[in-house]
């Protein structure tokens, strides 16, 4: 078992703390969140998003893949639900199912200090 896996409860909380800072109408990538958190991978961020507790208020829908698309989920309608949640926040998708990061990409924690 890797150190990342052994630390997963605390690591997930650090991931969730960053994701909570993504404003409505903006998106970030799994890799971007991993870089901000440090010492974790984009895959781990994906696992953390899949494990978000219902009713937690963590805006998991705002984390997408580096191609600007919603990653497919096994079973259920999670991908469709994620798209609907983002569209309700004003996030637009092109005909290929991608977002324009220039318009809706979150620039991370430095964006907060620009305000």
Q: What are the structure tokens assigned to 109, written together?
A: 């924690």
Mean pLDDT value of segment 9-15: 94
pLDDT at site 78: 85
Domains of the chain, each with CATH number or no CATH? 3-114 (1.10.10.10)
pLDDT, tens digit, for every residue of 28-57? 999 999 999 999 999 999 999 999 999 999
| Residue 7 pLDDT | 62
The pLDDT score that the predictor gives to residue 1 is 47
- What is the Cα–Cα distance from 26 to 54, expressed in whole angstroms? 21
Banded pLDDT at 27 (limits 50, 70, 90):
very high
Inter-residue contact 70 to 84 (CB < 8 Å): no
Note the pLDDT tens digit of each residue in 71-111: 987 777 889 999 999 999 999 999 999 999 999 999 998 76
Whether this prediction's pTM lies above 0.85 is answered by yes
How crowded is the C-beta side of 37, counted as CA atoms within 13 Å?
A: 30
Query: Which parts of 25-108 are beta strand (E)?
Result: 28-29, 63-64
């Amino acid at each position: 078992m890797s150190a990342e896996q052994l630390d997963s409860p605390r690591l997930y909380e650090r991931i969730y703390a960053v994701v909570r800072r993504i404003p409505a109408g903006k998106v970030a990538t799994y890799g971007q969140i991993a870089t901000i958190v440090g010492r974790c991978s984009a895959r781990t961020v994906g696992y953390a998003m899949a494990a978000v507790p219902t009713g937690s208020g963590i805006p998991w829908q705002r984390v997408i893949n580096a191609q600007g698309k919603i990653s497919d989920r096994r079973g259920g309608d999670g991908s469709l639900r994620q798209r609907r949640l983002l569209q309700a926040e004003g996030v637009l998708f092109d005909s290929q199912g991608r977002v324009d990061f220039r318009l809706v990409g979150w620039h991370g924690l430095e964006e907060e200090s620009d305000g």
